[in-house]
């Protein structure tokens, strides 16, 4: 009921994959494709080559997932690029002087000077959300900073009474 177009989508994926079980799959997104209930998925126009990705040799499952997952991957990589630029080039940014040290899936781990971290963390989260919206403007995007001295998956955003980001401490 939530996604009534899905049976049509899976039929379309089956046709794309065909008898060979292999397909070439473009990334999706409002910029590239439109869904018509009678005609199925239609390309809107030729996409800008800088943001259009094609995957070849994909099976049904990869084909069905890849068009969407590709957009998330592009958004995350674009976020890393913008964050890195501010860290190294934008002297006015709270991120200037920070160092991205590790990128995993959709997270950018960075080292901040502690006296700048309360401003740098929220700035990085904002840059990441804005970058992702370039690729998936119709999807709710969340990115919340968590300052920590020792990395933990349990870390969470900690704010003081004034809404200023604080260091999360393990229990």
pLDDT > 60? residue 146:
yes
Residues 33-69 have pLDDT tens digits of 555 666 665 555 444 444 456 677 888 888 888 777 8
pLDDT at 16: 81
Structure tokens at 105: 């899936």
State CA 123 to chain mean position distance.
16
- CB contact at 8 A, 31 and 44: yes
pLDDT at 27: 64
pLDDT-derived band at 121 (thresholds 50, 70, 90) equals very high
**Rounded to whole angstroms, how far apart are CA atoms 103 and 168?**
20
Long-range contacts of 37-43 (CB under 8 A, 24+ apart): 37/5, 37/8, 40/8, 40/11, 40/12, 41/8, 41/9, 41/12
pLDDT-derived band at 28 (thresholds 50, 70, 90) equals low
């Amino acid at each position: 009921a939530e996604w009534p177009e899905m049976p049509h989508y899976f039929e379309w994926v089956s046709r794309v994959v065909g008898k060979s079980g292999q397909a070439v799959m473009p990334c999706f997104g409002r910029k590239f494709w439109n869904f018509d209930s009678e005609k199925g998925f239609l390309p809107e126009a030729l996409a800008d080559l800088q943001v259009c990705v094609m995957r070849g040799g994909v099976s049904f499952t990869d084909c069905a997932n890849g068009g969407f997952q590709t957009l998330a991957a592009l958004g995350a990589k674009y976020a890393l690029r913008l964050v890195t630029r501010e860290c190294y080039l934008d002297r006015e940014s709270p991120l200037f002087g920070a160092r991205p040290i590790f990128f995993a899936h959709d997270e950018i781990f960075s080292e901040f000077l502690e006296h700048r971290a309360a401003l740098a963390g929220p700035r990085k989260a904002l840059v990441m959300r804005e970058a992702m919206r370039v690729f998936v403007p119709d999807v709710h995007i969340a990115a919340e900073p968590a300052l920590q001295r020792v990395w933990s998956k349990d870390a969470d955003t900690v704010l003081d009474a004034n809404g200023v980001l604080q260091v999360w401490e393990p229990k």
